[in-house]
A = this chain, B = another copy of it.
Amino acid sequence: MTPSLTRSLLTERHRPTLERATSALRERGHWSAYSDNPRDYAREEGAAAFDSLTGRRFELDQPGTGDWVGAEVSPYGPTLGISYPRPDPEVLLPAMRAALPAWRDAGPEVRALVCVEILTRLAARTAELAHAVMHTTGQGYAMALQAGGPNALDRGLEAVASALVEQTRHPAATEWTRPRGRHEPLRVTSTLTPAPRGVALLVGCRTFPTWNGYPGLFASLATGNPVLVKPHPRAVLPLALTVATAREALAEAGFDPQLVALAAEGDGEHSARTLALREDVRIIDFTGSAAFGDWLEENAGQARVYTEKSGVNTVLLDSTGDYRGLLANLAFSLSLYSGQMCTTPQNLLIPRDGIETDEGPKGFDEVVSDLAGAVDGLLGDDRRAAGLLGAVADPGVLSRIAAAEETGEVALTSREFAHPEFPEGRVRTPLLVRLDARQPGVERTLLAEWFGPVSFAVAVDSTAEALALLRRTLRERGALTVLGHTTSEEVENELVAVCLDERAQLSLNLTGGVYVNQTAAFADYHGSGGNPAGNAALVDGAFVATRFHWAQVRRPA
């Protein structure tokens, strides 16, 4: 049967996108293939599509389907009532392995084109995906749409383009001619083929199933590896939609849909722990807790393991030329999605003697209360606040807030209020606690990750002490982000040196519409892979180059 998606059709449709993506990778300026303006998407149609998925089975027609599982409850209240196939890995994984050779033999260009086709189809389902992300992660609708849709697709496309560049570094066939004086030259022809490692396992996370999942999914697929997607049991739908879309596109392009499959699991089953150790799982992508990420890195020796784990993100305040801008920018970063981002600042280090600003010197107390005020102002209107904060995904966050309140003096109370639209939604505003670096034992608090809307305003003796604490935090716990505010060239140089030494991503003096907890595909690296917060960066050369091996066949010419 001739596939309906032929190579020439795919080339016509997607070659320009791939070329643009490849040049964006090189230039690293602003570029996005997908609009992230919510007004460009039909919210109501997305809601209807989402509604039609709830309360029923999500069919995927995978081999080895055993029972059906599903326990998703929206952080906004409603139970989703969707059940997904739970596969028997002894049946599904061999089927996935069997799909590999034809996909490998199609070559990097065709794989990239098919991947872009999948991304394009996902883009067409953006509003539907937005609802799925919203009602599994608790993100507000606008954020669920942007981060869960176009921004995630951009990261996926970045991975596809990176993989294509890496696999086409040199020709697929070469000639080698070595002169030998009066003798005939030696001549060899070679084929150089990217040979995939084998089945990749994607272990999805609760808070950003698509944004954190697409890079690994598409990097593995574009380099020839089948991908088994094991979503977080409370955030299955966004990845199930992704898998279904990928399977359709693969089949229409003439490939085995088993190249992408879903491994749903029962609640509390922890199937990632057994899947990850299977000899036939050769790649693992994971976003989540340091404990499980460390376990994977230590135990899944048969696989290449890519982790983004928890870190402790620091803000260092030394001085600023735009005090109001600093407060507004930081207040937004603390509030967005109730701090449930791996990039949300946690420890705000402020000299106890205060900081220099364009409004004159500001004491420690003043800075803390001004920041608390800025958050209060930002979240003054419940409807607007609810959209920004979203809902708390994991009830564990609530007890973490309670525990954090006990660590010091509360400077800003975490407020709970009824979501205007979803009265059952768990909405919480940021908590800000005052600590002093001199307090005995305070390191225990500061060197732990308090995932959720928890931040500490920490009085330090000096900027030098803040730099030392930053260095220690980065070395021992790692970080996804560091933010610094200073007008001093010397302090800036020291901040840069610490972040280079400890391989952390630094943002300086953000006072406008760019936030420390957001990165842009094609321009910004997310994580570095070089500190304890994770061993992978989105999307650097190592992220794709390590997912395949070069297989060479030499023949005398």
Contact A556 B511 (CB under 8 A): yes
Contact B503 A556 (CB under 8 A): no
A555 to B, closest residue via Cβ: B508
Contact A27 B174 (CB under 8 A): yes
A553 and B427 CA atoms in complex are apart in Å by 33
Which of these binds chain B: A212-220, A245-253, A398-406, A542-550? Answer: A542-550
Which of these binds chain B: A264-272, A350-358, A380-388, A525-533? Answer: A525-533
Contacts of A104 in B (CB 8 A): 500
Contact A501 B101 (CB under 8 A): yes
Contact B27 A170 (CB under 8 A): yes
Contact B523 A550 (CB under 8 A): no
Summarize A's interface: helix, strand, loop or mixed: mixed
Residue A186 interfacial (CB < 8 Å):
yes
A482 to B, closest residue via Cβ: B553
Residue A193 interfacial (CB < 8 Å):
yes
Contact A514 B545 (CB under 8 A): no
Residue A422 interfacial (CB < 8 Å):
no
Residue from B513, B520, B549, B553 in contact with A503 in the complex, judged by beta carbons closer than 8 Å: B549
Contacts of A176 in B (CB 8 A): 28-30, 520, 523-524
| Distance to closest chain B CB from A493 (angstroms) | 11
Give residues 284-325 of A contacting B (CB, 8 Å): 297-298, 301
Residue A109 interfacial (CB < 8 Å):
no
Residue from B503, B514, B530, B549 in contact with A188 in the complex, judged by beta carbons closer than 8 Å: B514
A542 and B169 CA atoms in complex are apart in Å by 12
Contact A28 B174 (CB under 8 A): yes
Residue A190 interfacial (CB < 8 Å):
yes
Residue A116 interfacial (CB < 8 Å):
no
Contact B546 A546 (CB under 8 A): yes
Contacts of A26 in B (CB 8 A): 169-170
- Annotate A28-47 by CB proximity to B: 1 below 8 A, 0 otherwise: 11100000000000000000
A166 and B545 CA atoms in complex are apart in Å by 11
| Distance to closest chain B CB from A495 (angstroms) | 9
Using A170-B26, A553-B506, A554-B507 as known contacts, say yes or no to A500 and B541 having CB atoms under 8 A apart: no
Contact B504 A30 (CB under 8 A): no
Contacts of A553 in B (CB 8 A): 496, 499, 506-508
Contact A551 B528 (CB under 8 A): yes
Residue from B29, B174, B512 in contact with A29 in the complex, judged by beta carbons closer than 8 Å: B174
Give residues 29-87 of A contacting B (CB, 8 Å): 29-30
Residue from B175, B188, B528, B550 in contact with A550 in the complex, judged by beta carbons closer than 8 Å: B528
| Distance to closest chain B CB from A283 (angstroms) | 11
A528 and B192 CA atoms in complex are apart in Å by 11
Residue from B30, B541, B545 in contact with A177 in the complex, judged by beta carbons closer than 8 Å: B30
Give residues 466-500 of A contacting B (CB, 8 Å): 496-497, 499-500
Residue A552 interfacial (CB < 8 Å):
yes
A178 and B298 CA atoms in complex are apart in Å by 41
Contact A180 B506 (CB under 8 A): no
Residue A540 interfacial (CB < 8 Å):
yes
Residue A17 interfacial (CB < 8 Å):
no
Residue A159 interfacial (CB < 8 Å):
no
A475 and B42 CA atoms in complex are apart in Å by 51
Contacts of A349 in B (CB 8 A): none
A171 and B523 CA atoms in complex are apart in Å by 11
Q: List 11 A-B contacts (CB under 8 A).
A: A25-B169, A29-B175, A101-B497, A496-B553, A503-B549, A504-B551, A506-B554, A507-B554, A508-B553, A537-B549, A545-B546
Q: Give the top 7 A-B pairs by smallest Cβ distance, nearest first.
A: A530-B549, A541-B545, A542-B545, A528-B549, A507-B554, A28-B174, A542-B546
A-B contact sample (4 more), CB < 8 A, given A195-B503, A195-B530, A507-B553: A29-B176, A506-B553, A508-B555, A541-B545
